[in-house]
Amino acid sequence: MSWITDIQSAIDFIENSLLENISAEDVSKHIHSSTDYFQRIFNIVTGLSISEYMRNRRLTLAGEELKNTQAKIIDISLKYNYDSPDSFTKAFTRFHGITPTTVRVSGDSLKHFHPLSIDIYIRGGFNMERKIILNIPEVNYYGNEVDYIFSLLASIFNGAGDKTDLAELAVYSGMANRFAWIPGSWSRGCECLGSIDETHYEDIVRLLKTFGWEAKCIKVLRDNQGKPLNTDNEQIKNDFIDSINKGFPIMSLSTKNHRFNAVIGYEDGGSTIVCKEGIDKKNNEHLSETISRNNWEDTISDYILLKEKKETAPERVRFLDLLKLIVYRSNRTDKIDSKTMRVSSANVGFAAWEAYLHMLEHEDLSELPTEKVADILGQYCDGLCQIWGRNSGLPYYRLLVERFPEWKTEIEIAINALDECSKYGGFLWSQGIGWEGAGLEKFRSKDGRKILADEGRKAMQKDMEAMQQFEKILKKENM
């Protein structure tokens, strides 16, 4: 079945060439096929022509740039291979239902055509069975655990038929507005999902309820030999098969890599599961990988099963409830006792900011070996991942300005403040700090880290400014 490999190879080639002026002939040439033959095969499998697929993907990416950047429309049209702004506007309007200019003015929701991934469903042979949930959006990993969780959750929701916008998910998950840090310790894990949960899966359960999902969260307890104590392998397998048969992907955590993935199918009656997950950078590309795992029941530590989708509360109610939680966490001064594997006794909100920046400025790194300094730089970047996450929710806040004009002033001030705050996530690179040589030595030096800390305090003030605006909204509503 080399045609399956050929189609996936063609899709990968298209995805890597969307900014180039390629044609169906170029795609066919890439997989060493005649254009007419491959066009027919591509259309039979995907329901699209090659040119339609390229157009849908380019207009999706163009829409994201219009929403999230200040690039000129003419520059975006040329970037995505349109001869003129007029032809781009016509194609954009047909695809999204609104003009490019309207996106900038109103921030209306746009269509999103995800990259295709080719999977198949086979039954027969020696009692073999394979079932895959198709068209799961890619789950890419860019070194930022916060963004990875957004991407993973969006893929899980979209795979279950819930077309949740990534920015909306970032806001309601709380990840676009939170900060956690362990005082006095350079420690990894604070940027991960659940790092401020005081009961198991507190935030994910809250998030699922916000979007109307009933779910079951299972933490598999094991003895010293790895045998499950509160369940058994057969029950785990049945849970996964039942969920896939209903068309619901599973959010799963393995003891092998401690990174969540999306389980999208099973093979051989459940003896093998098929997972989609982001992987670390390879050959200068950030990839999403589809992996089959055997003996998987022995390594599952946690999993989340979607059960049923119910009606959600009105958006106004959901957002005000979220603001109360965000403000509460930001101003909390006591430590939280997290139930995650890697984090305990962390500060949150502005107390976390203070602990983080104090360590950055005052920690003596002068006598530490180079490898240790590089590791601390990585842990400092874990904090930056959280701060950069503020940028992820901005498109949704802009939508709220249109939907709730009575909050317009407060939300617009908060948007500007969070935007400025998020820029601290990339400030270190502008200072020449890096992972080796002079860049690493600058991070080792107290003078170099004081510059980072001083800029961090400016970012914290912007974060405070946004929280003040959220508090004003709550006061308006007498909450």
Q: Are residues 139 and 255 both part of a single domain?
A: yes
Q: What angle do CA 383, 388, 389 make, to 5 degrees?
A: 100
Task: Out of 257, 287, 309, pick the residue that ends a domain.
Answer: 309
Q: Are residues 78 and 145 both part of a single domain?
A: no
Distance from C-alpha of 62 to C-alpha of 307, rounded to nearest angstrom: 35
Q: Are residues 357 and 426 both part of a single domain?
A: yes
In a domain, 462, yes or no: yes
Residues near 240 by beta carbon (within 8 Å), at least 6 away in sequence: 250, 263, 266, 270, 273, 303
Q: Are residues 285 and 390 both part of a single domain?
A: no
Sequential pLDDT tens for the chain (479 residues): 466 778 888 888 999 999 999 999 999 999 888 888 888 888 777 777 898 899 989 998 998 888 878 888 899 999 999 988 888 888 888 888 788 888 877 656 677 787 877 655 555 444 456 788 876 777 777 766 777 777 788 888 888 878 788 889 889 988 889 899 988 888 777 887 778 888 888 888 898 999 889 998 998 888 888 888 899 989 999 999 999 988 899 988 877 666 788 898 898 888 888 888 776 654 445 456 777 888 888 888 889 999 888 888 899 999 999 999 999 999 998 888 877 656 778 899 999 999 999 999 999 999 999 999 999 999 999 899 899 999 999 999 999 999 999 999 999 999 999 999 999 999 999 999 998 899 999 999 999 999 999 999 999 999 999 999 999 999 999 86
Q: Are residues 300 and 376 both part of a single domain?
A: no
Q: Are residues 298 and 331 both part of a single domain?
A: no
Domain holding 421, by residue range, is 315-476
Tell how far CA 213 is from the center of its chain. 19
Q: Are residues 472 and 364 both part of a single domain?
A: yes
Helices 35-46 and 50-68: crossing angle in degrees, nearest 10, is: 60
Task: Out of 254, 284, 309, pick the residue that ends a domain.
Answer: 309
- Residues 417, 462: contact at Cβ < 8 Å? yes
In a domain, 207, yes or no: no
In a domain, 117, yes or no: no
* Count of domains observed in the chain: 3
